[in-house]
Amino acid sequence: MIGWFVFLAGVIVFILGVRKLYYGRQASSWPTIEGKLLTCSLESEKTRYGTSWEVKVLYSYSVGGRKFQSNKISFGYETSYAPSYHKAIYKKLHSTSWVLVRYHPDNTGISVLVPGVDCETYLLMAVGVWLMSTLYLSYLPRGECGATMTWQGALFFILTLGIIAAGALWECSNKDSNDVLERIQVVP
């Protein structure tokens, strides 16, 4: 029974990663408009692993006479334990009142300041696949050494993780598409 919950969690995590990847890639071709930066804060939180950091924003923009608000910097931007990175993003955004907003042409309520995705998006997808594979492994016939895997199952698992890992390596090695700070566009 627990295997099905873990499998469902894996499906949800994988879908979230695919959604971030899809929107992040699509956002590069979305229309742009000037947006008003309403709030910008640098927040930290003590955890058992250290201090996590995140820049939180709220900006508004108008499309076709309708006003919208969003808080999304990037589809892959998340909290992390790198204070200098988040402080630099905060410094860049806090020093301006206007930003360039990219909005979805068919659903203008979806917007982002920075197109593209970060390495963490691929990690999210890999974790989803790993969680889904636990159900498969938990229902395998038990041999003398525990679970046994068919060669087809092993090949599927390895190929899927390999494709995700290749995407992550490509994304992470491409500094221009990976650095949120460099891709934020402020309006003078």
Cα atoms in the Cβ-side hemisphere of radius 13 Å centred on 159: 6
Residue type at 58 in one-letter notation: L
Q: For each of the chain's 188 residues, which pLDDT tens digit applies?
A: 666 787 788 889 989 989 988 998 899 999 999 999 999 999 999 999 899 999 999 999 999 999 999 999 998 788 888 888 899 999 999 999 999 999 999 999 999 999 987 777 877 888 888 777 766 666 655 544 455 556 666 677 777 777 777 776 666 665 444 467 777 888 87
Domain positions in the chain: 2-183
Give the per-residue pLDDT at 139. 60
Strand partners, 9: none
Q: Which residues contact 108 (CB under 8 A, 6 or more apart)?
A: 63, 64, 66, 68
The DSSP letter of residue 142 is E
Give the per-residue pLDDT at 160. 76
Give the per-residue pLDDT at 141. 55
Pick the closest to residue 43 from 103, 87, 5 (CA basis): 87
Give the per-residue pLDDT at 175. 47
Give the per-residue pLDDT at 79. 83
Give the per-residue pLDDT at 137. 63
CA distances from 176 to 67, 114, 172 (A): 31, 12, 9
Sign of the Cα pseudo-torsion (101, 22, 116, 82, in order): positive
What distance in Å separates the CA atoms of residue 163 and residue 68, rounded to the nearest whole number? Answer: 37
